[in-house]
Structure 1
């Protein structure tokens, strides 16, 4: 049973809790530019491992709480779904697909969470949720897709599997709750995910001979702000807010990525992309409105 208390305002989420949870996908939207501009090239698994493992071990040490009983395997499952498998599949999709196609597959997460919440959380599949999910996918599609986008079967499968992995992680995190404060709970998952990634990284990429100051700074940002802080806020939000509302916040990530690409890399943002961003942001806002209680 979860030890979390529901927000005191009933069905309406506290605005600051939603805003704090939204910090996570906003920071994730900066991952692409940091990875491409400041990290060693062709090292996606290394980037994923450095994002997860050091931060996880640090949070576990700081929290001084280890899993007990069934939480050993639950933490391993959540860490694999939310971190290990998700990061590996995400980078595989990113390398085999244009970034726009990969982001579009990720935008389907709210729909997947809505479907999984029916058997696992006992929630109804509501028409409003489906319509908002489809609108969000359409908006992200306008932001990120181009006429030159190509499809790769392995990349598409990896993108869908990654979306399914994190979607299942969101729903199971909501179902199981958390038995400890958010920082050690985040540490358990990051450490478990990092341990899944470590042997893959060593086997496929190995370790770099050295790092520049810029690369070290990029890794430090990914491990701290982009991962430790972001996942702590994200997991806290999953515990206190309805799963459907939280997962729609993930649509902010590709919108932020497009905005950062425009601001820092000079990437074009035309009327179609701006329309898509407006659709996605409208979807996020509407999804935060509380549902009426079921009679």
Structure 2
């Protein structure tokens, strides 16, 4: 039996741990829009506090793990800085959009890297997707359309928020590409800590430029946002980014609108209908396909894998 055809339980333990980390990361990140709505600061200011509160903890964790930022090449410093600035712009655009559309739509469009990041992976590998990968992408795209289609039809006023979140998704893709390159030679915690530090000042400037309230009256939503989204969510995401293919990482991002849709349904009455449930089923099927890898009919084509993890 080809290793890619093996059942999930027979796959390498490292891959299983990375996939579990990816799932937990997306579940944690899905609660971000809710915390942004609960925050009493401006939406971009809440993004600043997400980063500012998480940065000291991430730096301490990176330092404690032995990943001290020494002897990094100038090119790597620029990659990390670019990733941090793109992430700051992503958060600013996304948090503005969150307040102008539904939680499900905000999370879906904010994760449009679902389809863009796998394309980057295929371009880097100079390979076409296998049949299994193509089917998985098609299922993911269909599921994504169903998850957002009904919500837009019910309330076209979501359009501005959707466009802001779509811009955020494009910036998130650039951030992913930068972090994937950094992970070629860096451990996850130091990479995330340095890119997080690069996001602090741009977000504060964005918030001030928009005239937002920066100082919070209630710290609880911001602390929850920092711990769930930046420390746990992004921490596990960057770990998985160095061990799983862009295809798997990209499609797994659709876990977020599913969870956010459930939160929106329970907390804000943003009801999920039959199209949403079908979309969720299609996303689940896509995840199963990319998790199991190519089938026998795909010949010897392997899943697009990241560069070998550094020692």
TM-score, normalised to structure 1, is 0.82
Deviation of the 1:126 alpha carbon: 4.1
Once the two structures are superposed, residues 64-85 of structure 1 have per-residue CA deviations (whole angstroms, 9 ceiling, x without a partner) of 323633222111112223x212
Deviation of the 1:62 alpha carbon: 4.1
TM-score, normalised to structure 2, is 0.78
Per the alignment, residue 81 of structure 2 pairs with 76
Contact 2:22 2:240 in 1 (8 A): yes
Contact 1:107 1:137 in 2 (8 A): no
Per the alignment, residue 137 of structure 2 pairs with 133
CA gap of 1:23–1:287, structure 2 versus 1, over 3 A, is same
Residue 44 (str. 1) matches residue 43 (str. 2): yes
Q: How does 1:107-146 map to 2 (within 5 A)?
A: 108-144=112-148, 145-146=150-151
Per the alignment, residue 5 of structure 1 pairs with none
CA gap of 1:47–1:154, structure 2 versus 1, over 3 A, is same
Deviation of the 1:188 alpha carbon: 0.9
CA gap of 1:129–1:169, structure 2 versus 1, over 3 A, is farther
Per the alignment, residue 273 of structure 2 pairs with 270
Which of 171, 178, 203 is equivalent to 2:209? 203
Contact 1:120 1:175 in 2 (8 A): no
Deviation of the 1:202 alpha carbon: 2.0
Deviation of the 1:239 alpha carbon: 0.1
- Taking only aligned residues, the RMSD between alpha carbons, in angstroms, comes to 2.9
- Find the residue that maps to 1:268 and give its secondary structure: coil
CA gap of 1:96–1:194, structure 2 versus 1, over 3 A, is same
Contact 1:45 1:200 in 2 (8 A): yes
Contact 2:50 2:230 in 1 (8 A): yes
Any unmatched runs of 5+ in structure 1? 1-8
Once the two structures are superposed, residues 95-114 of structure 1 have per-residue CA deviations (whole angstroms, 9 ceiling, x without a partner) of 45555554443454232112
1: CA distance, partners of 2:92 / 2:190: 23
2: CA distance, partners of 1:257 / 1:104: 9
2: CA distance, partners of 1:111 / 1:272: 20
Contact 2:108 2:254 in 1 (8 A): no
- Find the residue that maps to 1:287 and give its secondary structure: helix
Per the alignment, residue 6 of structure 1 pairs with none
Deviation of the 1:228 alpha carbon: 1.1
Contact 2:114 2:250 in 1 (8 A): yes
Aligned pair count reads 281
1: CA distance, partners of 2:101 / 2:264: 18
Residue 16 (str. 1) matches residue 17 (str. 2): yes
Once the two structures are superposed, residues 116-159 of structure 1 have per-residue CA deviations (whole angstroms, 9 ceiling, x without a partner) of 22333444344543442332232233334332242787655543
